[in-house]
Structure 1
Amino acid sequence: MSTQDLYDTDFYAWANRQAALLRSGQLEQADITLIAEEIESMGKSELRELENRLTVLFLHLLKWRFQPSRRSRSWELTIKEQRRRLRRHLAHNPSLQHRLEQAREDAYGDAILEAASETGLAEDGFPAQCPFTPEQTLDDQWWPS
């Protein structure tokens, strides 16, 4: 079975085979092109994780701010959890700091759509730009009023 066929039909086996080839120094047999693509993909998944966590956090911060009468322990715990996970994710991937502002913008736009869907409020009822500073976003003591 060719490397491409194995990649297409059994990724797990392909990955283990490539790892074994790299460890044994058999670089000429390793599929360097696909390995590089997979490494890049792994990096992109770390950025997506950052954006997803920010989206969930912004969604709940928006609900907290714009629906104070519906605040719940569940929302509070989700906000706390996402803050913890975001801090940990950034600590494990410090180079994501330079992508944080763009990730915040992208995530906030997604959060507005989700907040509008979940709350029934109009999209334009939320601020067009993220009203939460990066510091507020990760501060366990800060809550939107």
Structure 2
Amino acid sequence: MTIQLKQEIDKVYEEDYLLWLEQTAEQLRQKDIENLDWEHLIDEIEDLGKAQKNAVETYLRQLLKHLLLYQYWTQEKDYCADGWAEEIDNFRNELEILLRSKTLYNYSASILEATYQKARRSAFKKTKLDIFPSECPYTLEQVLDLDYLPE
């Protein structure tokens, strides 16, 4: 690939990302591997994986936070339990889609405790109450179980 062609590809990538995606997809369909923008293509594929992992962690953190609020913030439960339960359901539904991937399921299992610590801090900041267990009181199966609500 010439320097000029590389500069043109870089310009398209920087200025018109959608066009770059369309051109790259067409090059892959045509098996035009010599003109592929390998550098950016590799970066984009890696970023897709990172984005999915970030989504798993975000949904898991929010789900754990709402499970904690539901179970332990008893002063607010009469007023907020339905809303928390709805949020728990929403986060579980989002995770169910992502965790169809065995890799992401295993990733969620590997980050459960660390993510719980973040959820616990967030729940503490919301309530200003030191009422949440120091270690995750839920198994991954409970966290993901569509019918499970802690009492």
TM-score range, shorter chain: 0.7 to 0.9
Contact 1:50 1:103 in 2 (8 A): no
Match of 1:15 in 2: 21
Q: With structure 2 as the length reference, what TM-score do the two structures score?
A: 0.84
Once the 2 structures are TM-superposed, how far is the Cα of residue 132 of structure 1 from its aligned partner? 0.8
Match of 2:111 in 1: 103
The one-letter code matched in structure 2 to 1:112 is R
Structure 1's consecutive aligned runs of 4 or more residues displaced over 6 angstroms after TM superposition are: none
The one-letter code matched in structure 1 to 2:50 is K
What percent of counterpart residues are identical? 29
Structure 1, unmatched stretches of 5+, are: none
Provide, for residues 61-109 of structure 1, a one-character-per-residue CA deviation record: whole Å limited to 9, x for no partner. Answer: 1111221231221111111121222122212x22212212223233212
**Structure 1 residues 1-145: aligned runs within 5 Å:** 2-71=8-77, 72=80, 73-91=82-100, 93-122=101-130, 125-145=131-151
Once the 2 structures are TM-superposed, how far is the Cα of residue 16 of structure 1 from its aligned partner? 1.2
Contact 1:51 1:106 in 2 (8 A): no
Q: With structure 1 as the length reference, what TM-score do the two structures score?
A: 0.87
Structure 2, unmatched stretches of 5+, are: 1-6
The alignment yields a C-alpha RMSD, in angstroms, of 1.7
Once the 2 structures are TM-superposed, how far is the Cα of residue 26 of structure 1 from its aligned partner? 1.3
User: Which of these two proteins has the greater Rg computed from alpha carbons?
Assistant: 2
In structure 2, how many angstroms separate the alpha carbons of the residues matched to 1:107 and 1:39? 25
